[in-house]
Amino acid sequence: MMLGRVVGEVWATRKNPRIEGRKALLVAVLGQDGEKRTPTGEVVVAFDSIGARIGHTVAVAWGSGARAVFAAPDNRWTLVDAAVARIVDAVLVEKDGKEVEERED
C-alpha cells in the first residue's frame, strides 16, 4: 500500500459505469523526509471503502490488491486500481532508541 492524505473528492458525471456509487478520493502520496512524512507531490484517485474523508491519513492498496478491497471473485473486471484500505490513526516510530507513537488525524 502507499501512504497518503485525502485532499479532495473527485466529481464526474461522465464516467465509465463499472463502479457506480463509490466515492473517488484524491489522495496526496506521502514520502519520508528525514523523520517527517511529507507530500511527494504525486496524487492518486482512489475509491473509498471505509468512510475516509478529507484530512485523513490513509493507506491505499493498488493493482489487483485494490480490486480485492471491494472484491468478490466475480468482480474481476471492475476498473478499480486504487482503493483506500485503512484510515491511519497513528504511526509507531523509533526516536532516540525508544518507540514513539505519532498520532494522525
Chain contacts with its own copies (rule: CB under 8 A): 1-3, 7-16, 18, 24, 26, 28, 30-33, 37, 39-46, 49-51, 54-55, 59, 61-69, 71-73, 76-83, 85-94, 99, 101-102
Q: How far is the CB of 9 from its own copies (least distance, A)?
A: 4
Query: What is residue 17's DSSP assignment?
Result: G
Least separation in angstroms between residue 61's CB and its own copies is 5
Going 82 to 86 to 90 to 94, the CA torsion angle's sign is negative
Output the CA–CA distances (angstroms, integers) from residue 97 to 93, 94, 100, 101, in the order listed.
Answer: 10, 6, 9, 13
